[in-house]
C-alpha cells in the first residue's frame, strides 16, 4: 500500500529528526536535502546524515481551534516553530503543556508521539512533538 511506503521512507526524519549537514560549509538542514542550496555543485555528494538536537526553545507558536478532520479530536491544540540547539528551526505540535502558559523562549524537547491515523483500520502515523522541559 502506497500510504505505508510514503510514511516509512520519512521515518528517519519523523522519528529521529534526522536531517543533513553539508560537508562543504557545515550548514545543517531539516528535513534532509540532497544538496546544499548554499554550495550547490560544490556540495553535491558531501551531504552527511545529521540528527538535529532534540532540545530547543519556542521561536513562535499558535493555538489551533479549527483543524483538519484527522486532527479535529485534538482541538484546541498548540503548534510551534522551535529553534533547536543546532540553531535549526523545526515545526511541530506542542503537547503536555497548558495552552495559556506557552511563551516565546520556553525550553522544549522533541518526543515521539502518535501524529494521526488513516481511519480506524489504516496505519497510525508517529512522529515528533514538543513537550516543555520542566
- Residue 118 contacts another protein per CB under 8 A: no
Does residue 89 bind another protein (CB under 8 A)? Answer: yes
42 or 57: whose CB is closer to Zn ion? 42
In the three-class reduction of DSSP (H, G, I as helix; E, B as strand; rest coil), residue 131 is classed as strand
Place of cell 522533541: 110
| Helix (H) or strand (E) run with residue 92 in it | strand 89-94
Chosen residue from 28, 39, 81, 123 binding Zn ion by CB under 5 A? 39
> Which one among 25, 44, 63, 112 touches another protein, defined by CB under 8 A?
63
The C-alpha R_g of the chain, in whole angstroms, comes to 16
Tally of CB atoms within 10 A around 16: 15
Residues that bind another protein (CB under 8 A): 10, 13, 31, 59-69, 71-72, 74, 76-77, 79-81, 89-93, 104, 115-116, 125, 127
Amino acid at each position: 500500500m502506497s500510504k505505508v511506503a510514503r510514511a516509512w521512507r520519512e521515518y528517519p526524519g519523523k522519528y529521529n529528526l534526522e536531517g543533513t549537514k553539508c560537508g562543504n560549509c557545515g550548514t545543517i538542514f531539516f528535513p534532509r536535502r540532497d544538496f546544499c542550496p548554499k554550495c550547490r555543485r560544490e556540495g553535491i555528494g558531501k551531504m552527511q546524515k545529521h540528527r538535529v538536537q532534540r532540545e530547543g526553545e519556542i521561536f513562535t507558536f499558535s493555538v489551533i481551534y479549527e483543524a483538519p478532520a484527522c486532527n479535529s479530536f485534538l482541538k484546541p491544540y498548540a503548534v510551534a516553530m522551535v529553534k533547536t540547539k543546532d540553531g535549526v528551526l523545526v515545526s511541530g505540535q506542542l503537547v503536555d503543556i497548558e495552552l495559556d502558559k506557552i511563551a516565546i523562549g520556553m525550553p522544549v524537547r522533541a518526543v515521539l508521539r502518535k501524529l494521526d491515523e488513516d481511519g480506524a483500520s489504516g496505519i497510525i502515523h508517529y512522529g515528533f512533538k514538543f513537550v516543555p522541559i520542566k
